[in-house]
Chain A
Amino acid sequence: MKRALNILLLTLATLAAGGGLAAAQSGLAGLDGSWTGRGTVRATPTASAAKAYCKVALSETAPGRSWSIDGRCADTRRSATLGVTIRQTGPRLSAHLSTSAIGERVAFSGEGNASAMTLASTAPVTIDGRRYRSNLSIRRVGTERFSLVVGMADGSGGNTRVADLVFERTR
């Protein structure tokens, strides 16, 4: 279950990075504020799906250059805090994630446009001794909702959807 959270948090961090890129292209315009996410995650790419719930706050800390995301995510067993910082240097975006669930910083990068984006971890993610490449797609629907799908590819050609979340602006 800890791994499910890890995946979820990696997903969020990737989302943050994607958000940064989108911001460069006005992708994050109007997304400042509080977000609530609901959906499912898997503990491992081979595990069964479990319900998940997130609450995050997205804020632009330097106009057009850096952003932060702070919040928590939970499955039915536990929750973990999340902190992500995103920095824009020229055309590239870098993001770093720190969380109480994994206790280490993870780097991401990606690209996209204002309504859809794809991102990936800059290094393979190791789960139970197996290395995975994480891929992510975000589809934004106006300023009140976006969906997030995370897949894990282990190099054998299979791609398992490990997170499937829909975020809505918190009322």
Chain B
Amino acid sequence: MNAVEAPAHTYGGRLSPMAVRRLIGVWLLVLLVDVVAVIVMTHLTFDDGLDRVFSGDAARFNEYQSAADTFIQRENDVVVVFEANDLADDGLLEAIRDFALEAQFLDDVVAISSIFALQRWDGDDPGTLIPAELPEASDLRQLLSDLRVTTGGPGHLISEDHKATAVVLSYPSAPFDSAVAAARIKAATDLAAEAVGAQSIKTALTGAPLLRIETINGLFDDLLRLNLIGIAVGFIVCAVALRSAALAALTTMPASTALMWVMGSFPALGQAINMVTVAVPVLILVLSFADGLHLTFETRRLVREGYAVPQAVFQALRRVGPACVLASVTTAAAFLALSFSDSDLVASLGHAGILASLVGLVAVLITHPMLFLSADRLGLLEPIFARSGDVPAIESCNVFWRWGLRRHRVVVVGSIVLLAVAGFGYATVTPQYTLLENVDRQSSPAQTLETLNDSLLPVWSIDVPVPLGGAVISPGDVALMERIAAVLGAVAMGGIVVSPLDLAKAGDADRAMTARRLDRALSGMPESQRGRFLSRDGRTAMMRLHVPDRGASENRRLTLALEAALADDPQIAEAGADRATGLLVMAGFMSERILRQLNICFLIAVGLSGALVALWFRSVSFGLIALVPNVLPIALIGGALSLTGVGLHVASAVSLTIAFGLAVDDTVHVLNRLKLETVPGKRFELAAIETSLRKVTPVLVITTAVLAAGLLGSFMSDVPSVRFFGFLAIAAFCLAIVADVVVLPAWLRACGERFGSGALRLKR
């Protein structure tokens, strides 16, 4: 052990008057920052980040943007679904029609789609299929059944069994604003309730705005829940591990301060809480808990060895502090790697994470010594230390590293094989994404979406822009759209084709009449409605295949199959109508691209962490060895995701990269302890490895327990991606501790033997 001298600012084992004044100054500074953080925290903003998940210079994204600029988009549509035992029963449909009429007077509504707007043509005259005076129930049932047959895709606005119908409220294309959307949804909900009155009709709303608000509300709840549970669980684990509630409280306070400062820094730097950044505060909380625990354990150990408390506090800071700094820097490096992503959302997580890691570190390194010195000044700390104890069960964890050291060759070879196999699995994992991955599937909007998918017209669609021959729709254009509709219907069994042709069903009439009707129908529409079928310049029509979102890989497969079938038709190919786009298509392909990028981000994180460790300890061998026990857990989880067919989602890829950055922390503390136990310039002896592991393993087990347990709150999240994020992070932490106490010791010993006495030697 290195000799320890009393710091200059202590006096006879107590703080000097100057140090006390400084301590008071630090308190005032910390309290000031706390107040500012709390004030700024009230300005936290929440968004689901959907607008920023996908971006980048890729053909699929550019095509999506081009279509979004050319056509009126449907992303703000709200769908109201009415359900009853039989909508043909007396008065029910009348109430729903009243809603469809009155809904046009709701603020911002620009168009309404419903079965009441479905047209029939009498020559060139359009009329509504459902008459003003509704027929008797039996005739009405027949009429409703005919709608699905005679009107094509839009006829699916009523279910085959007449138990459900949908009314689509369209709003202007504009960037999503949750407050505006919430007001629109409330108005529509109130009007629907008023329209159905006491009738036995169930109403429910869905659509992208509701799903996004659902996500945002979930994020707000999650932020509170994750962090409150994180603090509570962290405190309990500390209290159990330290066998002292008071010591646990002293360790919890720096972590809570770090959390407060991090959350205060978000609005100060314009960072919103979204579906990926929501986990950052709790990650920093648990990381700060871990840092605080290392400092607490070291301080208590030094006090037990006979140091005065002030000396022990400063000495602990000097000995463990650098490891805490390196741990935070490696975590920040993992976040830095994410900032290289094309996805604005992922990059914003990277930026937020870097900031949070560093802010959290500063908070812990300032407040931990401050609290312990203050408690000692008040005469509280020595009795607290005296009453605290160790948990014998944790000591039994030493069996793992002993086994790892004893069987080091087997463990090293085994870890290499495992790494290769799991790494291969990870490399072949299928990228996955669904537009619903941030929405609770049991929520009303998600359930209503399922009703639409199962019985009515699915909200999502694969879109095919169709270049037209001229400014006026010609019989040739009609023929082309008919061919495309046939291809879409044939390839996507179960998909529902919605096209401009639905506006001008000519029955057995000729295409010239259809073209004439179509021109008339479109010209009679307001721009907000016409722009959904026809581009702003009138040169391109949009045909849509409405399908449920079955996940990115299935959507990619269907898109490619559609495009191949369209390209097989010479007339379609010649017209340039063989390329699909839309949100489903773009998200399907861009999620694949972004997930591939995230894998590169992970490799960057690995490289950065290894380089940082090597630089810090001035040993390339350390840098390389540090990677093995940390890459292995991530590779194992990635392999499991591949093997089970779950695939890799944005949340899981991000979670694994961050978990890697956090897991490196344990390795850093092992190596730091080894450094402390070794005379610089000398080779590591087996005894030094054993001593280091004996001292550090219990702390690592406890900090891992804090890390894992602190994220348990994620299991209570309403947001599925947050639940999965937490699950994967916890799995990574648990595997990482096993790797740190089994694999790392084996590699340390094996490398020492393999490369000779100079291989694992720290420079002075």
Name A residues whose Cβ lies closer than 8 Å to a Cβ of B. Answer: 1-2, 40, 43-44, 46-53, 55, 72, 74-79, 100
On whether the beta carbons of B112 and A46 are closer than 8 Å, the reply is no
A52's nearest neighbour on chain B, judged by CB, is B101
The CA of A72 and the CA of B132, in the complex, are separated in Å by 20
On whether the beta carbons of A1 and B101 are closer than 8 Å, the reply is no
| Distance (whole angstroms) from the CB of B290 to the closest CB of chain A | 61
| Distance (whole angstroms) from the CB of A1 to the closest CB of chain B | 6
Q: B475 in the interface, Cβ–Cβ < 8 Å?
A: no
Segment of B122-130, B237-245, B403-411, B429-437 engaged in the interface with chain A: B122-130
With contacts A43-B127, A48-B131, A50-B132 known, is A76 near B105, CB below 8 A?
Answer: no
* A44 interface neighbour in B97, B98, B125, B133, Cβ under 8 Å: B125
On whether the beta carbons of B117 and A77 are closer than 8 Å, the reply is yes
A53 surroundings in chain B (CB, below 8 A): 98, 101-102, 104-105
On whether the beta carbons of B131 and A76 are closer than 8 Å, the reply is no
Given contacts A47-B122, A50-B128, 18 further A-B contacts (CB under 8 A): A1-B524, A43-B126, A47-B127, A48-B127, A50-B132, A51-B101, A51-B132, A52-B101, A53-B102, A55-B105, A72-B104, A75-B101, A76-B101, A76-B114, A76-B130, A77-B128, A78-B111, A100-B526
On whether the beta carbons of A72 and B105 are closer than 8 Å, the reply is yes
On whether the beta carbons of A43 and B125 are closer than 8 Å, the reply is yes
**Chain B 97-123, CB within 8 Å of chain A: the 1/0 string?**
110111011000001101011010010
On whether the beta carbons of A76 and B128 are closer than 8 Å, the reply is yes
* A74 interface neighbour in B105, B114, B130, Cβ under 8 Å: B105
On whether the beta carbons of B128 and A2 are closer than 8 Å, the reply is no
Q: B35 in the interface, Cβ–Cβ < 8 Å?
A: no
B97 surroundings in chain A (CB, below 8 A): 51, 76
B111 surroundings in chain A (CB, below 8 A): 78
A2 surroundings in chain B (CB, below 8 A): 524
B526 surroundings in chain A (CB, below 8 A): 78, 100
The CA of A100 and the CA of B527, in the complex, are separated in Å by 11
| Distance (whole angstroms) from the CB of A24 to the closest CB of chain B | 31
Give chain B's interface secondary structure class.
Answer: mixed
B117 surroundings in chain A (CB, below 8 A): 76-77
| Distance (whole angstroms) from the CB of B502 to the closest CB of chain A | 13
* B101 interface neighbour in A44, A48, A49, A74, Cβ under 8 Å: A74
| Distance (whole angstroms) from the CB of A148 to the closest CB of chain B | 16
- How many B residues touch A, CB cutoff 8 Å? 26
| Distance (whole angstroms) from the CB of B722 to the closest CB of chain A | 41
| Distance (whole angstroms) from the CB of A82 to the closest CB of chain B | 12
A2's nearest neighbour on chain B, judged by CB, is B524
B655 surroundings in chain A (CB, below 8 A): none
B126 surroundings in chain A (CB, below 8 A): 1, 43
On whether the beta carbons of B105 and A79 are closer than 8 Å, the reply is yes
| Distance (whole angstroms) from the CB of B143 to the closest CB of chain A | 13
The CA of A43 and the CA of B125, in the complex, are separated in Å by 9
Q: B529 in the interface, Cβ–Cβ < 8 Å?
A: yes
| Distance (whole angstroms) from the CB of B370 to the closest CB of chain A | 64
The CA of A38 and the CA of B98, in the complex, are separated in Å by 10
The CA of A102 and the CA of B643, in the complex, are separated in Å by 63
With contacts A77-B112, A78-B111, A78-B529 known, is A49 near B104, CB below 8 A?
Answer: no
On whether the beta carbons of A79 and B104 are closer than 8 Å, the reply is yes
Q: Which of B296-312 contact A (CB under 8 A)?
A: none
Q: B224 in the interface, Cβ–Cβ < 8 Å?
A: no
Interchain Cβ contacts under 8 Å between A and B, 18 examples: A40-B132, A43-B126, A46-B125, A48-B127, A48-B132, A50-B131, A52-B101, A53-B98, A53-B101, A53-B104, A55-B105, A72-B104, A76-B117, A77-B116, A77-B119, A78-B112, A78-B525, A79-B104
On whether the beta carbons of B529 and A76 are closer than 8 Å, the reply is no
The CA of A79 and the CA of B97, in the complex, are separated in Å by 14
B100 surroundings in chain A (CB, below 8 A): 76
* B131 interface neighbour in A46, A49, A55, Cβ under 8 Å: A49
The CA of A121 and the CA of B25, in the complex, are separated in Å by 86
A72's nearest neighbour on chain B, judged by CB, is B105
B125 surroundings in chain A (CB, below 8 A): 43-44, 46-47
| Distance (whole angstroms) from the CB of A143 to the closest CB of chain B | 23
On whether the beta carbons of A74 and B524 are closer than 8 Å, the reply is no
| Distance (whole angstroms) from the CB of B165 to the closest CB of chain A | 13
From A2, A49, A77, residue with most partner B Cβ within 10 Å: A77
User: What 8 pairs between A and B have smallest CB-CB spacing?
Assistant: A76-B116, A53-B101, A74-B104, A49-B132, A79-B104, A77-B117, A2-B524, A40-B132
| Distance (whole angstroms) from the CB of B563 to the closest CB of chain A | 34
* A48 interface neighbour in B114, B116, B128, Cβ under 8 Å: B128
B529 surroundings in chain A (CB, below 8 A): 78
The CA of A72 and the CA of B98, in the complex, are separated in Å by 16
| Distance (whole angstroms) from the CB of B122 to the closest CB of chain A | 8
B104 surroundings in chain A (CB, below 8 A): 53, 72, 74, 78-79
| Distance (whole angstroms) from the CB of B333 to the closest CB of chain A | 57
The CA of A50 and the CA of B133, in the complex, are separated in Å by 8
The CA of A47 and the CA of B100, in the complex, are separated in Å by 21
A49's nearest neighbour on chain B, judged by CB, is B132
